[in-house]
Amino acid sequence: MTDCIPSPQVVRQQPIMLYGARCVMGPPRESAPVTIQIVAGRIVDISGSYSCAPVSPDSLTLNLEGFLLMPGFINAHDHLEFALFPRMGNPPYRNYIEWGEDIHQRFFDVIAKHKAVPKEVRAWWGGIRNLLCGVTTVSHHDPLWPVLRNKEFPIKVVQTNGWGHSPALGGDLLAARNATPPGGVFVLHACEGVDYLAREELWQLDRAGLLDADTVLVHGLAIDAAGLALIRKREASLIICPSSNSFLFGRFPDMPLFGEMERIALGSDSPLTAEGDLLDEVRFAIRKCGIAPHTAYRMVTEASAEVLRLENCLGRISMRASGDLVAIRDTGKNVATRLPLLSHRDIELVIIDGSVQLASQAIMERLPYSLKQGMEPLWVEESVRWLRAPVSKLLREAEKMLGTDHVKLGGKPICIPA
């Protein structure tokens, strides 16, 4: 499916100046009007003036008056190849092993049908699913196939960390841990369930010498007070995916307990079990788990960057940071107030390393001509977004196996607008 990977249409690092927007520079309750200039993919100037001169003579300018700018969101946990799959299961289950065995028996035909879509195509749709909700960086929990290393992939995929599936299904975890790049973290599912098997996994990892400051556990649903004390002693980190836990096990992460952790992030998980995309997960976490909006915001920005040890100041807007930005309509309210209701319909602009990767129709009308090149429209739940991705080719490839008008992205119907 190499024909689905586009050749570059616009130089990603073309200088660009953004002016007129209110910008979230720190905590989500704080914002200020600024002009931001991005050169070579990095923020090189932040000014409080709308009239500052471009730092480069070939800079393109974009008027964002009426919009609120935020740092690009970081999805700490996803399985990109499952973006087109439906939610599967007949819960409740006691642990993830029960769920896996059940769906491979009960939904064998559905799984086979969706796996018939080329993996590269499914991975691209996983990137698009994240892009639509303002994600600029994702941590993919599976092998990094060549398509995920391609510079034209629609979002950034974390390249620097190691991974293992889980204590029960991960094979030789010591070998996987030893294959982790120097300075990276080792990410694996653990304690995903509500029974003794799930709870014991934490102690099993500790006995194997796999629980330390380089370890990032995903889910951790079965962790109790004693387990949390062990995690804090070993200085490990945690990523939670509340809607998946709720669907499979009828239980939410214990946030009064986990609230004591400093290094805790939020991930969307895959559509196999999750409620939707990362913004759906944020709303679920706020509504069902009692996570404060400002905390949820940090869990998909700075906290995710800290847990995954991401460089280039990802998760915040600052000098020398990567030019990864998201824009929504400015209603005069702060992000902490907006977040409990924010969805993919609100994301009107996504910029990654200074390249416009997503634009609403309103933004398209403001873009300089050269920044529009290579953008294709996609209809998602009654809204149209222009994406820097070969969406027409990707949809045709998916429809070959799933049928015309039967493709859903994270459970949301999609099509090419007329």
Average pLDDT on 23-32 reads 82
- Interstrand relation of 237-240 and 215-219 (parallel, antiparallel or unpaired): parallel
Q: What angle do CA 11, 13, 17 make, to 5 degrees?
A: 115
> Is 412 buried (19+), middle (13-18) or exposed (0-12) by CB count in 10 A?
middle
Range in 52-66, 122-136, 262-276 the model is least confident about: 52-66
Task: Determine the 3-state secondary structure of 69 from DSSP.
Answer: strand
Res 7 pLDDT > 90: no
pLDDT digits (tens, 9 = 90+) for 378-408: 999 989 999 999 999 999 999 999 999 999 9
Domains of the chain by start residue, with CATH: 2-71+312-415 (2.30.40.10)
Name the pLDDT band for 51 (thresholds 50, 70, 90). low
The pLDDT score that the predictor gives to residue 326 is 98
- Check pLDDT > 70 for residue 311: yes
Q: What was the pLDDT predicted at 383?
A: 94
The predicted model gives 175-194 an average pLDDT of 96
218-266: pLDDT as tens digits: 999 999 999 999 999 999 999 999 999 999 999 999 999 998 788 999 9
Does 10 have pLDDT greater than 50? no
Q: For the chain, what's the residue count?
A: 418
**pLDDT for position 12:** 52
Reply yes or no on whether the pLDDT at 49 is more than 90: no
pLDDT given for residue 259 in this prediction:
83
Digit-coded pLDDT (tens) for 151-175:
999 999 999 999 999 999 999 999 9
3-state secondary structure of 63: strand
Give the closest residue to 188 by CA, choosing from 175, 177, 197.
177
Quick one: how many helices (H) and strands (E) in the chain? 16, 20
At residue 48, the pLDDT reads: 82
Distance CA(198)–CA(200), nearest Å, equals 6
Is residue 135 pLDDT above 70, yes or no? yes
pTM: 0.95
Summarised one tens digit per residue, pLDDT across range 290-305 is 999 999 999 999 999 9
Residue with tokens 């910008």: 23
Q: What is the DSSP-derived secondary structure letter of residue 107?
A: T
